[in-house]
Amino acid sequence: MKRRTLVRAVAVIVCALLVAFLCLAIYLRFADLSGWRDTVAEKVSQSLGRKVTIAGEFKPAIGLTTRLTVGDVTLANPDWSGEPTMASVRQLTVELGLLSLVSGPLTFHDIEIEGARILLEQDADGRANWDFGSGKKSTPSKGPLELVLQHVVLSDVQLTYLEPSRSAPLEARIEHFETTEDHAGMLQITFDGAVDHRDVTIAGRAGTLAGLFCMALGFYAVDPDTFASPAFQLFSGASMLGAFFIATDPVSASTTPRGRLIYGAGIGIITSVNNIHGYPV
């Protein structure tokens, strides 16, 4: 008799928890959560140690796939900077797999950024405005954060880099950038924009060319007078021939999605280093 009573009590508790969870899910899915805009901005400000403002729309849709759309977002610069704003975004949309927060890796189904203006700057003392800190003691990291980006779109994005050693700012303009994960786990990439007033257009699969472009862009951003532009490295030597014919040879190429990314990125990075040190590939 006591055992039957215990089983009934456990069943009632489980049912009550399920009903409460269902009610909470329905509330979060259909309730107007726009009133949380200022609270979210304040929490993010505390985390970054910088003032974050959300002046436009704030539309969260919470579910197993959670989507958040915010408008007119600004991030303040540190006090030592002569410019008040480090970044501003006209509209930001993020779609996240909620269960990935628990099971990992962190999966973003969609990230869309429109109308962004980003200023990266260093002063004479070596301070950089991309170094964030809230002043609180941080907890040790448990390991590298694994991310999965299935679809990313950037449009009308302006990047500016300033430092005392440069006579003029380095500017990059992104008219349109889009990357999509295909069935093989590779990334389809399209890019249309300009780097330091030189037009750049790229279309292809991530791997060799992505690794080469990222390495070249990093070196070019540090010292454009010494290092060649990303466009030059992509189209010089046998870069394109190697990316589309040699690197894809089925005898030596990887057969797994993750292996293809590592294999392709490694070839691109090694090619960039060879080009920089005077051994064009």
Please report which confidence band the pLDDT of residue 62 belongs to, taking 50, 70 and 90 as the band edges: confident
Please report which confidence band the pLDDT of residue 90 belongs to, taking 50, 70 and 90 as the band edges: very high
What are the structure tokens assigned to 102, written together?
């628990």
pLDDT in tens, 108-133: 899 999 999 999 998 888 888 988 86
Give buried/exposed letters for 41-54 (b at 16+ CB in 10 A, else e). beebbeeeebebbb
pLDDT in tens, 138-188: 455 455 556 677 889 999 999 998 888 878 888 889 999 998 876 655 667
Residue 53's pLDDT is 94
Q: Which residue has the higher pLDDT, 90 or 1?
A: 90
Please report which confidence band the pLDDT of residue 77 belongs to, taking 50, 70 and 90 as the band edges: very high
Please report which confidence band the pLDDT of residue 280 belongs to, taking 50, 70 and 90 as the band edges: very low
Closest CA to 265 of 186, 200, 195: 186
pLDDT at 74 over 70: yes
Residue 254's pLDDT is 63
pLDDT in tens, 7-60: 677 777 877 777 766 665 555 555 556 678 889 999 999 988 899 999 999 988
Residue 71's pLDDT is 94
Residue 7's pLDDT is 66
pLDDT at 4 over 60: yes
pLDDT at 61 over 80: yes
pLDDT at 278 over 90: no
What are the structure tokens assigned to 110, written together?
């969609």
pLDDT at 87 over 70: yes
Give buried/exposed letters for 16-39 (b at 16+ CB in 10 A, else e). eeeeeeeeeeeeeeeeebeeebee
**How much is the mean pLDDT over the chain?**
76
CB atoms within 10 A of CB 190: 14
Residue with tokens 């894809």: 248
Bridge partners, residue 75, by sequence: 52, 87
pLDDT at 80 over 70: yes
Q: Which residue has the higher pLDDT, 235 or 71?
A: 71
Please report which confidence band the pLDDT of residue 281 belongs to, taking 50, 70 and 90 as the band edges: very low
CA distance 212 to 217: 8
- Amino acid in position 9: A
Residue 102's pLDDT is 81
Q: Which residue has the higher pLDDT, 9 or 219?
A: 9
pLDDT at 208 over 70: no
